[in-house]
Amino acid sequence: MTRPEDRPTHDVLLDDHDALLLDLDGVVYVGPHAVPHAVEAITAARARGVTAAYVTNNAARPPAVVAEHLRELGLDVTAHDVVTSAQAGAREVAARVPVGSRVLAVGGPGVAEALRDRGLEPVSRYADGPAAVLMGYGPDVGWRELAEASYAVGAGALFVATNTDMSIPTDQGMAPGNGAFVAAVVSASGREPLVAGKPRAPLLVESVERVGARSPLVVGDRLDTDIEAGHVCGIPTLLVLTGVTDVATLLAAPPDRRPTYLAADLRGLLAAPGDLVLAGTGADGVDGLAALRAGCRRAWAARDEGRPDPTSAADLARWSADVAAALAR
C-alpha cells in the first residue's frame, strides 16, 4: 500500500472526517495483541487532528481498564476516549427510570460501574426490587443471574441489553456472547430487550456526543454490528479485513450491511477515499484489492436485481489470496 508520506495531505480518507469511531476487537487488537499497523495509523490520524473514540460492544471491562490495555499497545488513550455498550445501556436505562433507581446488573464489572456513573444503584437480586435490568457480557455469568434477571423482566422491569452479539471470539474458538444469555432471559420471560450496542443507534450516538464529532467515520471489522450501525445512524463506514469478515461474507452482504469503504487494514485511513470506495465505479485501488471491490459491486448488483451471484469459486480463492497478500505487505 502507498506509504502515508507519499501522498499529498489533502486527499486521504482521514481528511474527510473529524473523528474515528473505532471498533476494538479485530480492528485495534485481537485478544491481547495489537493488529498490525493499527497503532501507527491511529497515531498518524491523531497527529492530523482527527479524534479517535474507541467504541466497543463488549460491556465486561470498564473504560479505564480498556484504556490501560490500549496504552500498553502504544496508543495515547484515556478512559474518556473509550465508549462501551455498558455505558450506552446505562444511558438508556437512566433516560427511563428516576435517578437513584435500583437496577439489576448482569455481567462484568463494567455493567455495574456504568450504572453507578449514571446515578443508578446496581443490585444483584430480584428480591431487591429493581426497576430495570441491564444485561451485558461477563465471563462469570451463570444460571442464577439469568434466573434473577428473568424474574425481574417477567414482573415488568425495564429490560435493556448492552448488545446482542450471539458469539465472541476467544483464543480457543467461538464462545457464547451476551446475545446468547439475553436469549435465555427472552425465552424465560417472553419479553424482548431494548438494545444499546451496535447495530442499534445508542452506542454510536453516545460516542458522537462524547467526542463532539461532526463528520465521523465508523471503522469496524463486522458487517452485522459495525457496518449496519453506520447505516442506521447515517454515518459512512470503513470495513477492515483484520477481523471476522472474510471475502465470501462481504460478497453476500445485504444493502444495509455494505461498507462505504474497504481496506485490508487501518493503513486505508491514509489512502485516497476514491481508491477505497465500494459504491459507483472507478476505484483503482492501491492495495491489490481493486478486483475484490469490483467483485463486490458485481455481486451486490446481481443480488439486488435477483440474478445469481456471478462470483466463481476461482474468484473467491483469488480475492482471498489478494487480501492475505495485502495484509502481509
Task: Give the catalytic positions in this structure.
Answer: 23, 25
Cα→Cα distances 174→142, 170, 177, 179, 247, Å: 18, 6, 9, 13, 19
Phi, psi of 264, rounded to the nearest 5 degrees = -65, -45
Q: Does 224 bind Mg ion (CB under 5 A)?
A: no
Nearest partner of 42 among 30, 60, 29, 32, judged by Cα: 29
Sequence-distant (≥ 6) Cβ neighbours of residue 307 within 8 angstroms: none
Nearer Cβ to Mg ion (23/113) = 23
Least gap, CB of 81 to Mg ion (angstroms): 17
Residues in binding contact with Mg ion, number by CB under 5 A: 6
Give residue 229's identity as a one-letter amino acid code.
A
Question: Which of 12, 20, 22, 23 contacts Mg ion by CB under 5 A?
Answer: 23
Question: Which of 113, 206, 221, 265 contacts Mg ion by CB under 5 A?
Answer: 221
Q: Which stretch binds Mg ion (CB under 5 A): 14-22, 35-43, 162-170, 243-251?
A: 243-251
Q: Which helix (H) or strand (E) element contains residue 170?
A: strand 167-170
Q: Does 265 bind Mg ion (CB under 5 A)?
A: no
Q: Does 25 bind Mg ion (CB under 5 A)?
A: yes
**Between 85-94 and 202-211, two packed helices, what is the crossing angle to 10 degrees?**
100
Q: Does 62 bind Mg ion (CB under 5 A)?
A: no
Q: Does 287 bind Mg ion (CB under 5 A)?
A: no
Sequence-distant (≥ 6) Cβ neighbours of residue 207 within 8 angstroms: 21, 53, 55, 83, 213, 216
Nearer Cβ to Mg ion (25/206) = 25
Least gap, CB of 223 to Mg ion (angstroms): 11
Interface ranges with Mg ion (CB under 5 A): 23, 25-26, 221-222, 243
